[in-house]
Amino acid sequence: MGNTYQIIEYGSFVRDKEVAGYTSLPQHTFDTLEKFILSNNSRNADALELMGLSARKGIGKIITAKNYVGVIGIEDGTIIEILPKIYSCKYSTEVKTKKLLIDMLQTLRNFPYKSMQTTNVNIEKMSIFEIFIRMFLQEIFFIVKRGLKCGYETISSNQTVFKGKMKFAGQIRYNYAHKERCYVEYDEFNLNRAENRLLKTTLLYLYQYTSSSKNKNDIRTLLNSFTDVDISVDYKGDFAKILPDRNTKDYTLALMWSRVFLMGKSFTSFSGSETAFALLFPMETLFESYIAAQLRRVLDISKYCVSAQDRTYHLFDEPNKKFLIKPDLVIRDKIGGVVYIMDTKWKVLSDEKPNYGISQADMYQMYAYQKKYSAVNVTLIFPLTEKISADKIIEFHSQDGVTVKVKFVDLFDIRKSLENMVSDFGV
């Protein structure tokens, strides 16, 4: 059972020493994390955004988190947790930040996080990883309560009574001197189907890494229902055997969790020799997904429709369509046909930076959106930051009629932020 070490996005680890402003990691854990970063940097461009390596005189090597959040597990049971850096006008706590991260994960498509129910989970005392396990176990309890599904399993074995069909190659090989036996192949209706093997394997896997006594006890309890189920020795093969149907509808979310835990199916494909798993998520993606979900709640859906990653237009149409443009959010007035464009950027702006830190590429992008969509309003959305006033008016105007507005959202008061934003441009 290992320890959990936590930093906030853009926070830093140092090796085995106490330094103000840094989180200390044991030497072995630091070295393992360093190898993990270096091995991924060499073959995965996304890893460059994961963590940075540097060194300072008197401190030594430093590992700094960038814009990925989530958990990294090391084979010795150590858990490294990276939480998003959230600034708010309201008082921010670790518990509120964890709850917000879970709320953001719940908005992702094709991931099991939307099933998270945290009302019965003590977030204050649990790491993000333990909360993930808790959510998975809730799904398994639901399945067990309704009863594990059986299926037909093809079995080849030596029998004293003939059933199924004779396997002549096996009969010759094994029963040349035992004419009283039959080497046969038959179908048996039992619990040992691919879905159950994967769930049992996930339970055993998580038992090794959870440090929560409640999670451990619940895993032991659940495993009693899987006594007659084998362990999966081929994850990919067993996942490939799954054919969704009405009988296994209850399994859907649990199997999505199994993919996450057994095959590291988060947004990343990071891996390392001593790294058990890496469930990491780019904040840019989470921010966009969360804003889209919250915007749909704020707007009157009878009057407006919200399209995420809209694919209506290309930059060029002749001789054929080239260079697809995909605004993060397109709001269309169903009655008047008016279009509003929003693009989310997970970036800290500051009064001290040229153009507040807004990139020229972002402005080119917004200009193109306005021209192609003939949008009446084009808005860049950034997270609220302590480095710039929340009520500061930032707008850019061009003589050919393009105006780009810059707005900020307080993620701990997201509804109010979005209501103010949409009312500002008449939605």
According to DSSP, the residues that pair with 237 across neighbouring strands are none
pLDDT of residue 111: 66
According to DSSP, the residues that pair with 427 across neighbouring strands are none
Q: Would you put residue 100 in left (φ > 0), alpha (ψ -120 to 50) or beta? A: alpha
DSSP conformational letter for 65 = E
CA 211 vs CA 41, 57, 281: distances in Å: 30, 36, 23
According to DSSP, the residues that pair with 155 across neighbouring strands are 186
DSSP conformational letter for 356 = G
pLDDT of residue 404: 93
User: 319 preceded by cis ω (within 30°)?
Assistant: yes
Write down the mean pLDDT value for the chain: 83
**CA proximity to 332, closest of 368, 366, 377, 293:** 377
Round to whole Å and give the CA distance between 346 and 337.
Answer: 29
Kindly tell me the sign of the dihedral angle through the C-alpha atoms of 88, 91, 94, 97: negative
**CA proximity to 51, closest of 60, 289, 61:** 61
DSSP conformational letter for 272 = B
pLDDT of residue 301: 85
Reduced 3-state DSSP string for 194-252: HHHHHHHHHHHHHHHHCCCHHHHHHHHHHHHHHCCCCCCCCHHHHHHHCCCCHHHHHHH
Residues of the chain whose pLDDT is less than 50?
A: 267, 269
pLDDT of residue 78: 85
CB 415, CB 422: distance < 8 Å? no
CB 50, CB 66: distance < 8 Å? yes
Alpha carbon of residue 252 to chain centroid: 17
pLDDT of residue 388: 82
Which pair of tokens denotes residue 331? 């709001």
